[in-house]
Structure 1
């Protein structure tokens, strides 16, 4: 019963796919050809974004910015955040195989066990934990990704950048959509949305829901079952009050997500290379995640500005039960049970538009959080006596509370009609309290051994300024330079070394980002090209290190590190119906001063793990009218990831790889049908590597070739 009801081959294959496109259409006058609603005009669309908490043309934002519109998301057939960011330079998503084991790195800054380095924001609400990343992408208006620290407007834990997702608002138009996907590995996915007026010109309602189930990509030969199977369900309600004759708007949003996954399919690295998508566990593993959230945004449009209030609540429950020795031996099982609550409130006032000489934003942000976490490791019957005893159980308990507030402001002034000067400042203050208890229940003696028990408290404060200058040579050419500070909170380790009480906590991480860039549009707005370069200085970088003699990791601080690189994005519409997009990111990151506290080894000059030196993508799509009512859609893409290391010692790495995806279909006004394939060459690669405190290297295979059919009905 279901729990919930080779390197260049990709470019060659993409070339063949594009050659199969009906190029004879070039001989026709595109303006006179019949088009569907999805066909766009000859020029590229103007993209309006809100990443700086006011509406702007994306080409006027003095920062490295990538945007996916609702149409772009649908054209690519995107279903997850991981798929969406794979098109963007210097962004790398790592996936341990379960919904709450996903992490994101931007310009080399990320996390595996600590607070995120990238702010994940949905409709103006910051998601406090990385476990919220596994969001189903449907009923989405846009995805905006801003690289580089955004501490002034977004605060702590945004030193890598910001992912800003905006869902679609209901309005006077009664509309709906049903989408289904069927694919190999018994994939079934159903999504539905409906929205419209409850009271015309005043009150609107939007409803959305999805369900997805799929067999695992990895087979457990020992138990003859799938390791990483998955099932998920979610629902959203959006109630919008926006009277036509009023300057007031209110948006109430409720959402719930639940999923059940198999656990990570980690195996020893050599075994994964020899037998990809194969595992051997003696224990059936399971993970569960439940997310509940609500937000209320109030907006008043006044004569000279806009006042906004955003109140939010989030609840997150996580539970997992896994084979912790990743073998057929009954040595270790691991369970984790976590419950957390987050509250936030932002009050903000913005004045001025890009047409005004002076525009500014000011506000205050406050938050609170609570978390209870208990992890248990139990010895099995095959545990060697020198390491434990069958039935012994070690427990780590942590009860955490935190709260903080941050006033902020940012202003831009235009001088000489072409030069925009921006300055901003934010002051972050936070306090965290933690109670910790580590103890072992001894089956061999019938006693309980207290390993560590105590409390700790952390108070942090940080100024986060930002300065930028942008010069508009013409309406289509802008160059900018910026200087910004980033900050990631310190905190407590849920899994700590009981022999080292200082390992319970770790310090904040700070950064300074220097950036220059050029943004441009050409050929009568048919081509855009954006280039940026950056250098980041990092102090007290938070890193993961192994706990001696254990499979688990804790967070420690490296002394100093730096990251430098560049990003390039190009998009062109050579003729009506044809779109080509390309991106490239280069990152070079090193520790400047870091000695591993466990191994006492100097890693200065080494590259941190999970930081590929290259990321790139190339996509091309074409819509060709078949009849007055039918359109042929074709799309091909290549996504590439460069070399990356699995540990700070740089002893083990993953070679570069690239994935080829394609999509072809027929579209009409009300109904679309597509065939799609991902990783068409069935490229073998490892999407994650993991070094334990016992010195072993584990890895998990990347997703294999998948294919299916996608049906869309609109009403």
Structure 2
């Protein structure tokens, strides 16, 4: 019976996709190398390897990352089924989308752990990969064991252990567009009880895109350097202490957003289409420090782990936020974040009939943000024109006999700039308890297992805000009398001073319960089928960007209050205006001056997003180990979905809860060892994600529209061929690698009025190997595919960052 089932599943798997090959592993037979068996990674929470669990996952070794041009988390996009990480902006912006859910700003929908230490803030997700041994990408909610912000999945990154890897690695690289990098790593085992490693890297990127408004200088230049220390102590056979410390400094240029045209309203300028042209120099600087201590105690029947983490992120962003040559408005943002985390985990030893994991975790994050927005000269003119045009549109024309008088309203905010300050403290406290049990050989049926898990997450959010602006505005009112075109002064030019501010404190807390149920049947150690139901959630928070909108609304009503106080007495004394018209004008002025009570909590708070994931899948190793494949089908029901969009004023993006969406799809991954020298791999992901309850207003309804930033298709096809040379030749072998990955269609907005069609990029690599040395020639985007990596709209104008063009480079690696 088992053989029949396996053969049926094998036929279903033949069209499928990817897995990976371990690094520097000899192969005496034509079998697929399982990375998890070659690169053994200790994790505090799991009792078995990924392909023995009821989940869909992809693992990449260091060789796989090198052969597939993975140099940061953004390069995993489309390489992993249903994973999309648009490569745009700076290292501040790491937007990860999996299976129809994701996040552009604020909290992520996919978690990140590095050497078992959680990275809480997605501003730190994009870091250097020079010392990485393996990456796991787990898809679907991982909330039961990992908690908040893993509703889409989890990315686990592991660095090399100095106990299992010895020597000194030196890597030098150069590429077109003035890209250079170097890294050196040393791994040393001093004794059977102590080993350490040290890594240092430097990278310079010359930039791909030019800013026409700043003398065609490269806009996306980048310099970064840093290093990592790791020390492992084994005081006795039952205790392990693993200490890591990592620091990175990044200095990036601006944002290569090119103009794509107006989306509504004003007349377009065809000569600006396709140009990157903004006049205020932009850039991003970041200091990132991570430290952690892993303690592991092995008892006879259980393993006790403690993972303590600390992260410091200090960054500075300057942004020309209108992205044009006009002086409309700019933003500066400084963040200082400190996060302390602790996880205590107790788990059973592997191989038991009852396997269990239980634990507690907590973290506290201090986050201080200084984010002033400054209206420049053109921005001041824009604000003034909005006020004057709106008022003059509604002021009536007065007629008496043959004479008519048209009111001329003028209100101007003075000064060449208008700074709006904003200082915010948003600390977060999170604590959780969790347990998961797996019952093997359920009811005596060999190979049948049931997994039950539950997590309780408690989160408390605070917001301490201090924002405002001080300015002067000058108002006058006149009447244009016809015939004769005489101008009659009515309200003389009068100056008013205003000071607006918001100061206060808010707090909010909630509890989330995250269950998981999975049923699995193991045909043998390497083949299984499973079904699972799990819940995940993404935490809520505060939109500090909304204060600019609130202040702009208050500015209009405050100005109109001054206008009304100066105008109403004059209007009441004009004889040629009848009483009905007077009351109409007075009512209009009082209405525009009316200030609504602002509920800051309601304006800024967004709720947690949560989803239920229903999944069936299988992990298979077939044909005497030559074929390894994974298949999964899923349905996700998401509630209170968090969507990022620009605020009504255009002053920055905010997060809103968009009702409900559903996502259904499938994933497949395959790798085959056809001969000792030829390996094929591929992956395919399909996601159909649409809104099911997203009504903005009576006129705007997005039900049935595609969820933005979610490709319907992602796929990857790759091959590796090793050309063996005769013994004594000047080379040991030549390795050829090629892979093609694609994604699309991708809708950029909830309206689905802007999108990127399916596109793909081809990468290749030729490696000349001799002993512990390697020289490799590589090419990225070999077909020079033109595509939009990102698109957005602000102030009724569209902007895009295009994908990087073809790039050719050379790597030199050696180990001493």
Q: Deviations over 1:645-691 (max 9, x none)?
A: 11111111111110010001201112100100000111111101112
SS at match of 2:531: strand
SS at match of 1:131: helix
Q: Deviations over 1:391-422 (max 9, x none)?
A: 10122221111212101011111121110110
Within the candidate set 603, 608, 612, 1:512 is matched to 612
1:263-302 matches, cutoff 5 A? 263-270=254-261, 278-302=275-299
1:97 positional shift: 2.3
1:191 & 1:65 partners in 2: Cα distance?
Answer: 30
Within the candidate set 201, 223, 232, 1:210 is matched to 201
1:492 & 1:74 partners in 2: Cα distance?
Answer: 39
Aligned equivalent of 1:156: 148
SS at match of 2:810: strand
Identify unmatched segments of 5+ residues in structure 1.
1-35
1:274 & 1:411 partners in 2: Cα distance?
Answer: 64
1:630-649 matches, cutoff 5 A? 630-649=732-751
| Structure (1 or 2) with the greater helix fraction | 2
1:460 aligns with 2:510: yes
1:632 & 1:275 partners in 2: Cα distance?
Answer: 48
1:672 & 1:395 partners in 2: Cα distance?
Answer: 54
Aligned equivalent of 1:616: 715
Q: Is the 8 A contact 2:44 2:305 kept in 1?
A: no
Q: Deviations over 1:544-594 (max 9, x none)?
A: 232112241111111111111110001000011221110000001111111
1:204 positional shift: 1.1
1:426 aligns with 2:461: no
SS at match of 2:427: strand
Q: Is the 8 A contact 2:380 2:417 kept in 1?
A: no
1:482 aligns with 2:532: yes
Q: Deviations over 1:10-57 (max 9, x none)?
A: xxxxxxxxxxxxxxxxxxxxxxxxxx9455442112332667823523
1:469 aligns with 2:457: no
Q: Is the 8 A contact 1:689 1:699 kept in 2?
A: yes
Within the candidate set 166, 190, 212, 2:158 is matched to 166
1:321 & 1:173 partners in 2: Cα distance?
Answer: 42
1:3-22 matches, cutoff 5 A? none
1:68 aligns with 2:169: no
Q: Is the 8 A contact 1:51 1:164 kept in 2?
A: no
Aligned equivalent of 2:703: 604
2:510 & 2:93 partners in 1: Cα distance?
Answer: 27
2:785 & 2:131 partners in 1: Cα distance?
Answer: 31
Q: Is the 8 A contact 1:52 1:153 kept in 2?
A: no
Over 3 Å counting, the alpha-carbon distance change for 1:616 and 1:52 in structure 2 is farther
1:239 & 1:142 partners in 2: Cα distance?
Answer: 18
1:442 positional shift: 2.4
2:382 & 2:183 partners in 1: Cα distance?
Answer: 53
Relative to the length of structure 1, the TM-score reads 0.91
1:215 positional shift: 1.3
Within the candidate set 595, 599, 613, 2:695 is matched to 595
**Higher alpha-carbon Rg:** 2
SS at match of 2:666: strand
SS at match of 1:44: coil
Aligned equivalent of 1:364: 360
Q: Is the 8 A contact 2:259 2:276 kept in 1?
A: no
Over 3 Å counting, the alpha-carbon distance change for 1:443 and 1:582 in structure 2 is farther
Q: Is the 8 A contact 2:255 2:283 kept in 1?
A: no
1:334 positional shift: 1.4
Q: Deviations over 1:599-635 (max 9, x none)?
A: 9611111112101100000000111112335210101
1:193-232 matches, cutoff 5 A? 193-198=185-190, 200-224=191-215, 225-232=217-224
SS at match of 1:241: strand
1:651-662 matches, cutoff 5 A? 651-662=753-764
1:602 & 1:572 partners in 2: Cα distance?
Answer: 47
Aligned equivalent of 2:726: 627
Q: Is the 8 A contact 1:172 1:201 kept in 2?
A: no
1:452 positional shift: 2.8
1:673 & 1:278 partners in 2: Cα distance?
Answer: 38
1:713 & 1:77 partners in 2: Cα distance?
Answer: 19
2:257 & 2:496 partners in 1: Cα distance?
Answer: 33
1:492-531 matches, cutoff 5 A? 492-496=542-546, 497-498=549-550, 499=553, 501=600, 502-531=602-631
1:205 positional shift: 1.1
Bigger shift: residues 365-374 or 129-138? 129-138
1:278 positional shift: 4.4
1:249 aligns with 2:240: yes
1:110 aligns with 2:109: no
Over 3 Å counting, the alpha-carbon distance change for 1:197 and 1:440 in structure 2 is same
Q: Deviations over 1:126-145 (max 9, x none)?
A: 11111112121122221111
1:94-109 matches, cutoff 5 A? 94-109=86-101
1:442 aligns with 2:471: yes
1:587 & 1:639 partners in 2: Cα distance?
Answer: 16
Aligned equivalent of 2:7: none
Within the candidate set 371, 392, 395, 2:418 is matched to 392
1:279 positional shift: 1.0
Q: Is the 8 A contact 2:421 2:468 kept in 1?
A: yes
1:556 & 1:446 partners in 2: Cα distance?
Answer: 36
SS at match of 1:711: strand
Q: Deviations over 1:232-269 (max 9, x none)?
A: 112101011024x5211101111111101112211322
Q: How many residue pairs are counted as aligned between the two chains?
A: 675
Bigger shift: residues 620-629 or 85-94? 620-629
Relative to the length of structure 2, the TM-score reads 0.80
Aligned equivalent of 1:87: 79
Q: Is the 8 A contact 1:396 1:495 kept in 2?
A: no
1:69 positional shift: 1.7
Q: Deviations over 1:407-446 (max 9, x none)?
A: 1011111121110110001000111111122312427679
Aligned equivalent of 1:259: 250
2:496 & 2:313 partners in 1: Cα distance?
Answer: 35
